[in-house]
Chain A
Amino acid sequence: MTLLDAFVHLLAPTQLAIMLGGVLLGIAVGVMPGITAGMLLALTLPFTYSMNSVNAVILLVSMFVGGVSGGLVTATLMRIPGEPNAIMTTLDGYPLARRGFPGRALGLGNAASIVGGALSWVALVLLTGPLAKAAIIFGPWENFALLLMALALITSLSRGSFLKGMIAALLGVLLAMPGVDETSGRVRLTFEIDALTNGFQLLPVVVGMFALSQIVADTLHVDQGTDHVRANMRGILISLRDYVVHGWNMLRSALIGVWIGVLPGVGATVASIVAYSTAKSLSKTPEAFGTGSEEAIVAAESANNATTGGTLIPLLALGIPGGLADAILLAALMIHNLKPGPLLFATNPDIVNAIMATHLAAHIAMFALMTVGCVIFARLMLVPRAFLFPLVIVFCVVGAYAPDSQISDVWIMLIFGIVGLALEYARFPLAPFVVGFVLGPLAEAKLRTALMTSAGSMLPLLQRPIALGLTLVAVTTCLWPLLRLLRRR
C-alpha cells in the first residue's frame, strides 16, 4: 500500500467515520480542561485491540491531532488552557477575545494550527530518517543549552519591569522544585506534606493562576465596565492576506515545533513557549505580546501543532516514543504484534503509510470541524458573565482534579488562584512565571544528566559546537538589555 493508497483508503466510509470520530473526540477533550488528549488516548487503547491494526492507528492518530488543536478554544474564551500546550495561547488569545474579537482570535489560532500541522507532515514524510539521526546527536548537553536559551528568552517575555519579570521567572522555577526529583527518584522539598509528593502539577497551577484569578479580579470590578463585551464573530476564517502577513511566523514557528517534537521528552508545551518567545524577540511590536497580539497566537498554535509530526518521527524511525501519544501508539502496535522502528517501513508499510496519511487528513478534518465549532463556541462570549463564571469555576475545579484524580490538586489550584491574583496586582507578569515553571525542572534534569556523563565537568558545554552555539545565544539574550542600557548612557 503506497501513501496515495493510504489516502484513498481513508475515504472509505468506515475509515472516514473512524477518522472524523477520532478528530471530533480529540477536539472535545482538547476543549475540556483537565481531560487531556493523552488521557483520551489511554482510555481508547483497549477498544483498539479488537480493531484491525490500520483502523487502530487511524483512530489514535486522529485523536492525537484533534486533542492538540482543541485546547485553543478554552484558552481563548475562558483563559483556561484546555491542554497544557495551549498555555501560551491563553496569554494573547484571551485578551484579544476580551477586546471583542473572539472570532478573530480563534480563527488565527485555527489557521496557524493547520499550517503548522501540514508543514510538520511534510517533515514527517520527507525527513524522517535525517531528523531522527539529528535528534540522536542532540544529547544532554545540547538539550540543556536549548532549554537555557529558552529560559534566557524569558527576558524578552517580561513586560514592564525587567527585574519583576526575572523574579516571576525564578519564582516559577522555585515552585516547580518540590515533589519527585526526576534525577534521583527521591522526594524533595515536600515538608512531609503528602499532597506535595507529586509536586505542583502544571494544570492545577496554570488553571488557578490564569482562570481563577481572572474570575476573582473580574468579580471585584463587576460594578465597573460593561457586563459583557460586544463580541465580533467575524474572522473565524482568516483572509488570504492574513496568511501572507503571518506566513513567515507560521513557517518559523512550525520549524521550531517540528524540531522540538523530534527531541524525545520535551514536547508541545515547550515548543509553543520557544516559538512564542522567538516571535516576540523578532517582532516589530513586541510590546503588544501579552495584550492580544495576533503574532503571538499564530506562533504558539503553529508550533504546538507542528510537534505532532515531529513527535512521530523518532517513533517511526527508531521505535522511540517521543511523547505520551507516541507511547500509546507504540503500545497499540505492540498489542497488534507489530514492532515499531525502521523495520516497520519494510515489514508493514501499510501501517507507516496509514500513520502518515491520517496525520495530514486528520489536520484537514480538524480545520473544518474547528471552523464550525468556533462559530458555536465563540458565542460563549455573548453569555452574561453572571452565568458564565459559575461554569468557568466548575471547569477550573474539574481541570485541576481530573488529570490525577487528587483532591489536593483542587486546593493547589485555589491557592495558585490567589498567588496569580497577588502577582497581577503587584504587576508581576505571569508569562515568565509559567515559562520558569515549565522549563526549570527540564533544564535541571538535563544538566544533571549531562554532569553525570562528564563526571562533574562543565567543559563539554563549551566543547560541543551545538551546545556552545546555543549557550552563546542565551548569554547574548541575557546581556542584550544591559548592552543597550550602556550604549544609551
Chain B
Amino acid sequence: MLMRRLISGVALAASLLATGWANAAWPEKPIRIVVPFGPGGTSDIVARFLQKLIEEKKVLNQPVVIQNVSGHFSVGARQVMTAQPDGHTFLIIHLALLSGEVVDPKRGVSYRNFDPVALTGGFCFHPIVRQDSPYKTLKDLLDAAKAAPGTIVTGVNIGALNHMTGLFMERGSPGAKFRFAQIGGGGENFAAIMGGHTQLTVLSSSEYQSYKANGIRALAYTGPERLKLEPEIPTARELGLGFEYCAENFWFAPKGTSREAIDGMAAALEKANAMPEMQEFFSRQAQTGQFMKGDTYRQHLDSVFQVIEPVAKLAAPQ
C-alpha cells in the first residue's frame, strides 16, 4: 500500500520535471499544493483535511500532493509565484501574504502576482493571559498598558498575524502600548507564557482550543460575533475596541494559470468545503466554514488589504 503510494509520489516527481501546459481534461496529473509553513500548523491541517476529503470522496480524479516549505512563508509563496502556470500547482496561505508585502515590500511577493482561486474558511484570534494573571478582563489589561506603556511583555511573531492583533488592540485603545517580543507561533508562545517569560500573547482560535485546558485564559475574541464553542468570551467589538481581525484560508495559483484549472480547483474546493465532515472539522477547530471564489473573492482580497495596510506598516521593523 505504502509502496504503491510512494511509487505514485515518484511518478509525480517525474511529471513535475516534465513541464507542460494544461489543456484537455483538467486535471491530467496529480495536483501539487504548496503549504508555505511546516506541517501541523493551521493552514497545513486545513489543506490536509481538504486533501483527505478530495481523495476519499473522489472529488477529483487525480491525487492531491501537499508540499510543506518551511522557513519564512515568502519562500514557499515565491515558489508558486514563479512556478509554471501548468494548472496543477496551488498555494494555500492566509493574511500573512497580504501583510507581508507591506512589512517587507523589498521581497517582491504580493497577492497581486497570483491568480486568486478560492477562500475556504477562516479563524480569528484571542488575546491570552495566564490563569493566575492579575488582568481579569481586557479592560484590566488595557488600563495597565495605558498606565505603564511598554511594560507588558507580549509574545508574538514579529510582523505576523499575532503581532498584528496586538497592534489592532493598541490602535483600538489609544495610549495603550505593549512590549512585543519575538517568540514565534502558537506552541512557542504557549510555552513562554506558561514559563512566565511573557505576560500576554495572542493565539488563533484553533490554537486556543488545543491549549485552553492548561492554565490560560482568553480575554476576548476578535471575530464579528461570539464563538459557539466559547460563548463566554466577549468579542473585542463588544468591549469597545472597534475592530474585527480574522484570517482566512486563501488559495492561489501562479499568474497565467488557465481559466479551466482555476475554475476546476475552485469547484473541487467548494464541494469539499461544503461536506459535513469539513464543516464539523471547522467547528471543532473553532474556525468558520465560509467559501468564496471568482470576483467576490477577488474584491474581498482588495478590501482586506485596505483594512490591514495601515496596521501592517506599524508591524514593519523600524
Spell out A's residues near B (CB within 8 Å).
21, 25, 41-47, 49-50, 135-140, 180, 182-187, 197-198, 264-265, 314, 318-321, 324, 326-328, 330-331, 334-335, 337, 339-343, 404, 445, 448-449, 452-453, 455
Contacts and interface: CB of A to CB of B under 8 A. Distances in A.
Given A46-B48, A343-B213, A327 B179 contact: no
A3 B181 CA distance: 41
B62 interface: no
B48 A140 contact: no
A47 B5 contact: yes
A331 B45 contact: yes
Nearest to B179: A455
B15 interface: no
B146 interface: no
Interface stretch (B117-125, B132-140, B183-191, B239-247): B183-191
A453 B41 CA distance: 25
22 contacts: A41-B39, A46-B5, A47-B5, A136-B195, A139-B192, A140-B192, A182-B182, A185-B104, A185-B158, A197-B75, A197-B107, A264-B187, A264-B188, A320-B191, A321-B40, A328-B40, A339-B209, A339-B210, A341-B210, A404-B69, A448-B182, A452-B182
Contacts of A340: 210
A335 B45 contact: yes
A7 to B, nearest CB: 23
B283 interface: no
A44 B195 CA distance: 34
A453 B317 contact: no
A328 B39 CA distance: 6
B206 to A, nearest CB: 9
Given A264-B187, A319-B187, A324-B38, 5 more contacts: A45-B48, A46-B55, A452-B180, A452-B182, A453-B197
A449 B182 contact: yes
Contact of B159 (A136, A185, A187, A452): A185
Contacts of A41: 39
A19 B150 CA distance: 52
Interface in B133-164: 150, 153, 157-160
Given A46-B48, A140-B197, A342-B213, A318 B191 contact: yes
B89 interface: no
Given A185-B159, A453-B153, A314 B191 contact: yes
B213 A341 contact: yes
A327 B39 contact: yes
A335 B179 contact: no
A184 B45 contact: no
A327 B70 CA distance: 12
Given A140-B197, A342-B214, A404-B69, A449 B38 contact: no
Interface of B: 1-2, 5-6, 9, 38-41, 44-45, 48-49, 51-52, 55-56, 65-66, 68-72, 74-75, 78, 100, 103-104, 106-107, 150, 153, 157-160, 179-184, 187-188, 190-192, 194-198, 209-211, 213-214, 284, 317
Nearest to B281: A337
A265 B183 CA distance: 11
A352 to B, nearest CB: 16
Contacts of B188: 264-265, 320
Contact of B39 (A42, A265, A318, A452): A42
Contact of A185 (B48, B160, B180): B160
Q: Which 7 A-B pairs have the closest CB atoms?
A: A327-B40, A452-B181, A136-B195, A139-B197, A331-B40, A320-B187, A184-B317
Contact of A184 (B49, B71, B159, B284): B159
Contact of A45 (B39, B190, B214): B39
Contact of A187 (B52, B104, B214): B104
A183 B158 contact: yes
B45 A21 contact: no
A209 B266 CA distance: 47
A340 B45 CA distance: 14
B40 A47 contact: no
Contacts of A137: 195-196
A331 B159 CA distance: 25
Nearest to B315: A185
Contacts of A339: 209-210
B214 A186 contact: no
Given A197-B75, A314-B191, A187 B158 contact: no
A186 B44 CA distance: 23
A43 B9 contact: yes
